[in-house]
């Protein structure tokens, strides 16, 4: 019996990465009877039967699971945004940060196209070259500025993927595919040959697949595709803005929503430059969405 990680399911068969190879697995009878739901990322125990074939004998409890994409045991989300072409959509970034944090998954913010951005920026515009990434660094997020083309920052980021399950998220055009190729040095796991040969039916996991990358596993789908905020109470939204923490207890009212109330410490901190104005604007936009959602349910 050996342990591995489920990469994908296809037509009733499951492909498990264990001992540096891919095993084509069937299910033990009791799992078929129970109609067991397996997801990429599930940690399973398999019994080899020869010729890279095996049978799934058991599964470990999940640490977490997502529906978009359908994947389990995610350690971190790589939120990928270009510094230019297109300019980063910070509203979307802040939404994704809330979604990831709500799912208890560690976010890593990756700003790509650094080489192009530095070329386009005026020679004396040194502050602007790092202002957006630095906003998020000061808050406490892990931030990388990389160039898929020149390799700047790739080595440092690659270390963060080792022995972890990661998902990619971000808008189209941000360079997610190029980033994956840069991180994996073009050495993608060869599972396509098995799938084409099998021809055994539809993909059972909505085409979500984990691939070996930089010593870890990365989902080859965009990830958190919903633009809607998670269900929450209006007073909970501020907890998803870590930079608010040191100011929240200084508001005049303990029930302050940091919107239109007088003597709000969050608003004062924003006016003093201690909190990003853009982040605060997004908080207020999100607050109205959360309130509207509360009324619906």
CATH code, 257 = 1.10.40.50
pLDDT of 119 reads 87
Tell me, yes or no, whether 159 and 82 share the same domain: yes
Residue 115 counted as an annotated binding residue: yes
pLDDT of 201 reads 33
pLDDT band at 132 (very low <50, low <70, confident <90, very high): very high
Residue 176 counted as an annotated binding residue: yes
Question: For residue 209, what is the domain's CATH number?
Answer: 3.40.50.300
Of 113-122, 142-151, 266-275, which range is least confident?
113-122
Residue 230 counted as an annotated binding residue: no
Question: For residue 50, what is the domain's CATH number?
Answer: 2.40.50.140
Q: pLDDT by residue (tens digit) across 32-45?
A: 545 568 899 999 99
Residues 6+ apart with CB under 8 A from 17: 4, 5, 7, 23, 189, 210, 212, 217
Residue 73 covered by a domain:
yes
| SS3 of residue 264 by DSSP | coil
Residue 12 covered by a domain:
yes
Residue 79 covered by a domain:
yes
Residue 251 counted as an annotated binding residue: yes
Residue 177 counted as an annotated binding residue: yes
Pairing state of beta strands 65-67 and 53-59? Answer: unpaired
- Check whether 295 has a pLDDT greater than 80: yes
- Check whether 12 has a pLDDT greater than 90: no
Tell me, yes or no, whether 121 and 87 share the same domain: yes
- The total domain count for the chain is 3
Residue 276 counted as an annotated binding residue: no
| SS3 of residue 284 by DSSP | helix
Residue 18 counted as an annotated binding residue: no
Residue 170 counted as an annotated binding residue: yes
pLDDT of 193 reads 35
Tell me, yes or no, whether 185 and 250 share the same domain: no
Tell me, yes or no, whether 159 and 272 share the same domain: no
Residue 160 counted as an annotated binding residue: no
**Considering the entire predicted model, what is its pTM?**
0.86
Residue 114 counted as an annotated binding residue: yes
- Check whether 56 has a pLDDT greater than 60: yes
CB 58 within 8 A of CB 44: yes
Candidate ranges 58-62, 183-187, 279-283; pick with highest mean pLDDT: 279-283
Residue 258 counted as an annotated binding residue: yes
Residue 4 counted as an annotated binding residue: no
Average pLDDT, rounded, for the chain:
86
Residue 171 counted as an annotated binding residue: yes
Residue 264 counted as an annotated binding residue: yes
Residue 39 covered by a domain:
yes
């Amino acid at each position: 019996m050996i342990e591995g990680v489920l990469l994908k399911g296809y037509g009733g068969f499951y492909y498990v990465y264990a001992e540096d190879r891919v095993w084509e697995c069937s299910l033990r009878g009791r799992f078929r009877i129970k109609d067991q739901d397996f997801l990429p990322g599930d940690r399973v125990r398999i019994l080899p039967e020869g010729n890279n074939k095996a049978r799934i004998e058991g599964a470990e409890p999940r640490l977490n699971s997502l529906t978009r994409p359908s994947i389990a045991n995610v350690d971190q989300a790589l939120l990928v945004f270009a510094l230019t072409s297109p300019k980063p959509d910070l509203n979307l970034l802040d939404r994704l940060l809330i979604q990831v944090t709500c799912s208890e998954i560690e976010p890593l913010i990756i700003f790509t196209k650094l080489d192009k951005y530095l070329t386009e920026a005026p020679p004396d515009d040194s502050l602007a070259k790092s202002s957006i990434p630095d906003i998020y660094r000061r808050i406490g997020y892990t931030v990388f500025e990389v160039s898929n083309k020149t390799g700047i920052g790739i080595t440092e980021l690659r270390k963060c993927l080792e022995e972890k399950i990661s998902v990619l998220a971000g808008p189209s055009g941000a360079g997610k595919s190029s980033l994956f190729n840069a991180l994996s040095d073009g050495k993608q796991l060869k599972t396509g040959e098995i799938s084409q040969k099998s021809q055994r039916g539809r993909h059972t996991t909505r085409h979500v697949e984990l691939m070996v990358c930089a010593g870890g596993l990365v989902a080859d789908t965009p990830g958190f595709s919903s633009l809607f905020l998670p269900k929450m109470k209006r007073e909970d939204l501020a907890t998803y803005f870590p930079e608010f923490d040191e100011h929240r207890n200084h508001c005049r009212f303990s029930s302050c929503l940091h919107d239109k109330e007088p003597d709000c410490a969050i608003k004062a901190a924003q006016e003093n430059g201690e909190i990003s104005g853009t982040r605060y604007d997004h908080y207020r936009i999100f607050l109205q969405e959360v309130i509207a959602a509360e009324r619906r349910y």
